[in-house]
Amino acid sequence: MLPELDEERVRHRIARRIAMEFENGDVVNLGIGIPTLVSDYIPEDVHVIFQTENGVVGAGPKPEKEDLRYIGAGGRCLSVLPGGACIASDLSFGLIRGGHLDATVLGALEADQEANLANWMIPGKMVPGMGGAMDLVTGARRVILATTHTNKKGEPKILRKCRLPLTGKAVVSLIVTEFAVLRFREGKLVLEEIAPEVTLDQVRAATEAEFVVADPLLPMKGIEKEEVVA
């Protein structure tokens, strides 16, 4: 059984770790939920261009004083960095569908060992629709998942095979949870990093999907900075 962590600690840990994945000049789209926090943790020496579905190129982190003129697709206020621009929705989706995004960071209801993703609906529950997720998972070069390791019932979210309706097939590049970093390499899911609160056996028990353990298996990056989170 996995240990319980404070919800805010979980969210910020995942966002901080994902923020370490980008390089100078990357164009990145952030989904709703945990992904919106990623822009708050980009290292100072890395310049990332954040794009929002609703039409901002060059979006920055949430400002200290909110300006309701600038809101991301997830409903969170954002800043516009120097050189940034507000663009029309058709141009925004042209960037996505045209393959101009280096990465997108999305949440997940389920993911599986075949790199499939389900993140838009649970049958029987009312949902607003898939939104831009279907475009993002096919248009971005990398799809990074920001998700808790298990659901609220303690059941695995990383499965052998997704059970919910798919958002995309064989699209996931990287999965970051509060306890592990798993990357797809040559068609295999590889556990690369593990958090200090858990053992490998605990991660195995909480992960239905089959995975390979990297050699060496590294401690999860960024955890040493958690004391700065309010």
Question: Three-state secondary structure along 200-216?
Answer: HHHHHHCCCCCCEEEEE
Cα–Cα distance for residue pair 77/73, rounded to 1 Å = 9
Cα-based torsion angle of the residue sequence 124, 127, 133, 138 in order, rounded to the nearest 10 degrees = 30
Is 64 catalytic? The answer is no
What secondary structure letter does DSSP report for 64?
Answer: S
DSSP for 69-88 reads T-B-TTS-B-EEEEEEEE--
**185: nearest Cα among 160, 161, 212:** 212
In the set 8, 23, 53, 155, the catalytic residue is 53
Provide the annotated active-site residues: 53
